[in-house]
A and B are shown apart, each in its own frame.
Chain A
Amino acid sequence: MADIALAPAAESPAQLRLARRLSAGARCAIPVALLLGIGFLAPLMAIFGYAFATPRSFDVFRSFTLENFATLFDPANTVWVSFVWSCGLALTTVAILAVVAYPIAYGLNVVFGRWSPFISVLFVFPLFVSENVRLYGWVLFYIKNGVLDGTLKWLGLSGGPEVLFTPGITLFGMVYTYLPFMLFPMTLGLALVPRDLIDAARDLGAGRLFIWREIELPLAMPGILIGMLLTFVLAIGATAEAKILGGQSIIVISHDIEIAFTYSQNWPLGSAMAVVVTFFIGGLTLFALSKLDLDRMLGRR
């Protein structure tokens, strides 16, 4: 394993010389860079190419037209509705998750003590269960004659509310699925607040709320922002919640893209949508990441 990486991609003498000239850090980055170049950038380029191809064709890189974008921004089209739904759901998800996760992140740092690692694992584990399985579990819980409805009837009550296949349950599903993505960056962020500073602020006369506003929140902000960004971006791209729990009562943007690629076989239109989403997300992510010092977040010094 060592040999592979210590002379990565050094086949010809010219390449060897190049590798020599690169610093150790750059050489270590080469395999990842190659992977992401081929696996991430190249497909995005393909999408970009398709976005300008003739609609309903597969003439990628051979035709150039803005027609797909024109269709997209045509008010007669419903794409913008999906986009608004996705953004709205994502924003609401972020807001709810911030409130849900903050006490837990605080607990993991300050309250739980030696239970903290175990509780963290309990929150990580659902990531290793396919979201289909977990979301379908909620269907079984909320469905007519399901766990909730059946239990209530068994208790002699009138049965559960009909919440399945509504926008509300889609939101619930998103909050449920993306909790770990808010919780862990937030926990990391709160871990960046030295306890000394809290003690010092208290010693200087500050009350709980004052300390939270002046010290804890600003210092934990990088982590909280990463969490918010991550959950927002993932929620924008979410489809499973709307499909499985929401029963297609609303169409989210990623679902629209999927439809264009599958049922309607209009790859150029789907690509144009994907390009818009990519620019939106990419811009947001790069902007937010440029404000953050990852070395400090993840533990150097």
Chain B
Amino acid sequence: MKARRTNALIWGWTLFVLVAIYLPIVCGALASFNKSRYFGFPIKVYSTEWWSKTIDSIEIGMIVKTSISVALLVTLFSVVIATFGALAFARYDWKGRRLYQKLILLPIFFPQPVLGLAMLLGFNAVGIQTSWMTAVFAHMVWIVPVVTLVIAIQVYGFDASLEEAAFDLGCSRVQVFREVTLPLLWPGIWSGMLFAFLLSWSNFPLSLYTTGADSTIPEWLYAKMVAGYTPMVPALGTMATLGAAALLLTGGLVGLLVRRRAAA
């Protein structure tokens, strides 16, 4: 049948694109197991030498610590701000809502390298020394809008009369928020947290201009790609990717388990 052939084509095309998307990640992983310093394919001698060197490196350890600190702080702050941002976006009807919905998208629709430079200028103008802490702020400017959208999607599916019912049953505003709003929005907030962490973890253009003397993983990788390639570059890249995958998988599983338990 005609429809079946179309569906097969769509499946085929999607799988082809997926293979293309993961191909470079696989290439990086291959390169990290190359014993020789310079990449050549097929790989003559495989070794985990560069992986152990990467893990043992003190410099890389500090960079990883910086990346994790930035991502954790970004996650914490972003999720709080974005939860309320999402309520303003999707839950309440208020005068400035339409405008607010559009303005909040602007940072997403803005080229990150230019945004990073602008912030560097801004920090410079008010005399703030850039460090990994200014990078936290810079990441938030871009990540809060994204997380707001992620949570807003959950808020749209949220029945506002539940809050009213809780009010009616005698809850205070704070109790309504804690007992009804937060638990119902939890799946959205959870995905928002994952997004926040992972987007900060992988961000390069904003970090480049706003970390000052500190360095995050993507920055270090870029510096070594431009000058000073060793297989430690793909090794650390692959580790960062695996870390992100592990976090996404755990996060997804936890979310699923919590929902299962709630449903049971």
- Residues 79 to 107 of chain B near chain A (Cβ within 8 Å): 80-85, 87-88, 90-97, 100-107
Which residues of B approach A to under 8 Å, CB–CB? 7, 9-11, 13-14, 17-18, 20-28, 30-31, 39-42, 80-85, 87-88, 90-97, 100-115, 117-122, 124-125, 137-138, 140-141, 144-145, 148-149, 152-153, 156-157, 173-174, 177-178, 182, 198-199, 201-205, 217-218, 221-222, 225, 233-234, 237, 240-241, 244-245, 248, 252
Are B84 and A233 closer than 8 Å at their CB atoms? no
B-side contacts of A230, CB under 8 Å: 108-109
Q: CB-nearest residue of chain A relative to B200?
A: A128
User: CA–CA, A104 to B10, complex, Å?
Assistant: 7
Among residues of B, the one whose C-beta sits closest to the C-beta of A119 is: B14
Q: List 10 extra interface pairs beyond A26-B88, A119-B14, A298-B149, CB under 8 A.
A: A28-B87, A29-B100, A46-B125, A112-B11, A122-B18, A133-B237, A145-B40, A240-B204, A274-B117, A277-B114
- Rounded to whole angstroms, the CA-CA distance of A136 and B236 in the bound complex is 13
- Mark A residues whose CB is within 8 Å of B: 1-6, 8, 23-33, 35-36, 39-40, 42-44, 46-47, 49-50, 60, 100, 103-104, 106-107, 111-112, 119, 121-123, 125-138, 140-141, 143, 145-147, 149-151, 154, 176, 179, 229-230, 233-234, 236-240, 244, 254, 257-258, 261, 267, 270-271, 274, 277-278, 281-282, 285-286, 289-290, 294-295, 298-300
Q: Do A126 and B21 touch (CB < 8 A)? A: yes
A contact face: mostly helix, strand, loop, or mixed:
helix
Known A4-B80, A285-B106: A147·B30 in contact at CB below 8 Å? yes
**Given A4-B80, A130-B237, A140-B24 in contact, is the A23-B95 Cβ separation under 8 Å?**
yes
Q: Which residues of B contact A244 (CB under 8 A)?
A: 225
If the complex has contacts A1-B80, A40-B107, A299-B153, are A130 and B140 also in contact, measured as CB distance less than 8 A?
A: no
A129-B244, A229-B109 as given contacts; A137 in contact with B27, CB under 8 Å? yes
A-B contact pairs, 7 of them (CB 8 A): A31-B85, A100-B17, A107-B13, A133-B218, A140-B31, A141-B23, A179-B21
Most buried by A among B27, B91, B244: B27
Cα–Cα, bound, A65→B233 (Å): 45
Q: Are B174 and A270 in contact (CB under 8 A)?
A: no
A1 vs B93: C-alpha distance when bound (angstroms):
23
CB-based contact A31/B25 at 8 Å = no
* Cβ-defined contact, A130 with B28, below 8 A: no
Determine whether the beta carbon of B198 is less than 8 Å from that of A128. yes
